[in-house]
């Protein structure tokens, strides 16, 4: 299963390898961007999906039943991470604090106040569940005891682990003490840690947690030309993927420290990278509103190659593009294209209905002269009584698709779609062209008026 979250406030679940959206998808309920997803399998093999978002809260879906994690804090959650044993969830936020939740009780059991001097940007448990590693927006790194809920003082600290702030960190699931049946000299415990950030570099560290906690820089992976947003190890630990603001995804051999191949198909900055559990696929997400699935079967871990793994084109089988929300299809297949919604003709509306799988209503919409202006005024009542859309599910799908088109792809004011505008000119929050941009602490530019409206501590929503 592949889970995707995006600026349309929805979580979508896709079946692999046929790339069909699951029947109970999308998962709705967010009031702002879904920036982060974590998937974990728990004791009885029920899937646990945790989603971090910018609407102040966390939620998760277990066996398709929505549940909430209890917390009184009203802050923007930046990052969340399960412990390897599925017992705990740790979160970081813009209040610089780290929170630990019990999965069994769904209760907050620990708060580390002011864990960092800046917002918490990255978190990970060590594979042995004994420690939590955290990074912040100003680039420092700290290590905490995970099992002692009263130990709120870091046992290790590195200032400016990443110049210009840390975006992400990851720990290899198989290196050193993480490897099954590992025998280490004495009582030594050590892991392989990867960090990345605004300095366009990926740092690989030896992380020693016993008998004494310390780090040693193994090597620096250079090749990106902009902020590296995400890093992720493959489940077998043989590959490391990175995605950056330069629109590139690179796959590295973390042991040798060389790049294996570079993926260049995205048209905007990379927001996420993730490997499948069987090490066969790599999923990449981007601000271009697409998720791409790459087959890694032909890759030779540990051997440098210029061969790019094949991109699985979900359109070739007639399937819906992976991250296209209802009503918004990729520009390569859309007959409506980037036309502003206000200029849609009845024929454009009919084509759009066909694209969202409801072409049986196209003639009715054309007979009633429903164009881009009138479609914005549709209600449940008008759809049922005037347009003959009797099925409640179809009415809701149409109304939801209209909202997506207005918010994500087209503008009713007649402004061009942001697909035609370079991303650096768009505010990451409003997705509109900035007229008075300011640079926030996270290194990104935002519309200045947001600071007046209470966004003084803006952090990036693109993770």
How is the beta sheet containing 34-41 ordered, strand by strand?
A: 34-41, 47-53, 58-62, 65-68
CB atoms < 10 A from the CB of 222, how many?
11
Compute the distance between CA of residue 259 and CA of residue 289 in angstroms, rounded to an integer.
26
Q: Which two tokens stand for residue 221?
A: 């992976």
Residue 362 banded pLDDT, cuts 50, 70, 90: very high
Extended strands (E) in 296-420: 311-312
CB atoms < 10 A from the CB of 152, how many?
15
Enumerate domains of the chain plus CATH numbers. 2-317 (2.130.10.10), 341-409 (1.10.150.50), 418-452 (no CATH)
Residue 16 banded pLDDT, cuts 50, 70, 90: confident
Q: Which two tokens stand for residue 424?
A: 């650096």
- In the prediction, which pLDDT does 438 show? 75
Query: For 376, which DSSP code?
Result: G
β-partners of residue 132 are 125, 144
Q: Which residues have C-beta within 8 Å of that of residue 390, sequence separation ≥ 6?
A: 384
Query: For 3, which DSSP code?
Result: E
Quick: pLDDT tens for 176-232: 899 877 666 667 899 999 999 989 999 999 999 998 999 999 999 999 998 999 999
DSSP string, 139-153: S-EEEEESS-TT--S
DSSP string, 104-161: TTTEEEEEETT-SSS-EEEEEE-TTSSEEEEEETTS-EEEEESS-TT--S-SEEETTS
- In the prediction, which pLDDT does 288 show? 85
Residue 459 banded pLDDT, cuts 50, 70, 90: very low
Q: Is the pLDDT of residue 70 over 70?
A: no
Query: In this predicted structure, which of 66-80, 215-229, 246-260 has the lowest mean pLDDT?
Result: 66-80
Strands 107-112 and 98-102 come out as antiparallel
Determine what percent of the chain falls in helix, strand and coil, rounding each to the nearest 5. 15, 35, 50
CB 265 within 8 A of CB 311: yes
Q: Which residues have C-beta within 8 Å of that of residue 193, sequence separation ≥ 6?
A: 133, 169, 170, 171, 172, 204, 205, 206, 207, 215
Extended strands (E) in 287-399: 291-295, 311-312
Q: Is the pLDDT of residue 73 over 80?
A: no
Most confident of 19-23, 137-141, 305-309, 418-422: 137-141
The mean pLDDT value for 250-274 works out to 90
Compute the distance between CA of residue 18 and CA of residue 15 in angstroms, rounded to an integer.
6
Q: Which two tokens stand for residue 113?
A: 């106040």
């Amino acid at each position: 299963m592949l889970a995707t979250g995006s600026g349309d406030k929805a979580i979508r679940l896709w079946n692999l390898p046929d790339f069909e959206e699951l029947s109970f998808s999308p998962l709705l309920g967010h009031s702002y961007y879904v920036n982060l997803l974590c998937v974990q399998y728990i004791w009885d093999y029920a899937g646990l999906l945790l989603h971090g978002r910018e609407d102040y809260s966390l939620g998760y879906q277990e066996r398709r039943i929505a549940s909430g994690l209890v917390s009184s804090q009203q802050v923007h959650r930046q990052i969340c991470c399960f412990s390897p044993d599925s017992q705990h969830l740790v979160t970081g936020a813009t209040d610089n604090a780290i929170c630990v939740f019990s999965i069994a009780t769904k209760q907050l059991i620990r708060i580390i106040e002011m864990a960092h001097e800046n917002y918490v940007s990255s978190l990970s448990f060590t594979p042995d569940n004994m420690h939590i590693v955290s990074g912040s927006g100003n680039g420092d790194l700290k290590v905490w005891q995970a099992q002692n809920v009263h130990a709120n003082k870091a046992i290790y600290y590195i200032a400016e682990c990443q110049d210009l702030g840390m975006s992400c960190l990851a720990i290899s699931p198989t290196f050193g003490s993480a490897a099954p049946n590992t025998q280490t000299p004495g009582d030594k415990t050590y892991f392989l840690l990867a960090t990345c950030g605004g300095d366009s570099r990926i740092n690989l560290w030896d992380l020693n947690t016993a008998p004494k906690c310390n780090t040693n820089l193994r090597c620096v992976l250079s090749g990106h030309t902009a902020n590296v947003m995400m890093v992720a190890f493959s489940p077998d630990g043989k590959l490391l993927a990175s995605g950056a603001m330069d629109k590139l995804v690179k796959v590295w051999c973390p042991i040798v420290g060389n790049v294996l191949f570079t993926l260049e198909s995205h048209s905007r900055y990379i927001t996420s990278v993730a490997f499948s559990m069987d090490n066969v696929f790599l999923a990449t997400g981007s601000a271009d509103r697409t998720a791409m699935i790459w087959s890694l079967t032909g890759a030779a871990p540990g051997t440098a190659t210029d061969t790019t793994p094949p991109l699985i084109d979900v359109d070739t089988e007639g399937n819906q593009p992976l991250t296209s929300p209802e009503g918004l299809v990729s520009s390569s297949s859309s007959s409506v294209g980037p036309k502003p919604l206000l200029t849609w003709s009845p024929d454009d509306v009919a084509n759009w209905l066909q694209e969202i799988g409801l072409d049986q209503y196209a003639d009715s919409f054309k007979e009633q002269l429903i164009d881009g202006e009138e479609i914005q005024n549709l209600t449940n009542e008008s759809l049922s009584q005037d347009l003959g859309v009797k099925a409640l599910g179809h009415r809701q799908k149409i109304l939801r698709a209209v909202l997506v088109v207005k918010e994500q792809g087209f503008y009713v004011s007649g402004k061009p779609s942001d697909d035609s505008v370079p991303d650096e000119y768009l505010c990451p929050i409003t997705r509109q062209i900035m007229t008075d941009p300011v640079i926030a602490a996270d290194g990104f530019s935002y519309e200045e008026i947001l600071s007046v409206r209470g966004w003084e501590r803006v952090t990036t929503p693109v993770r």
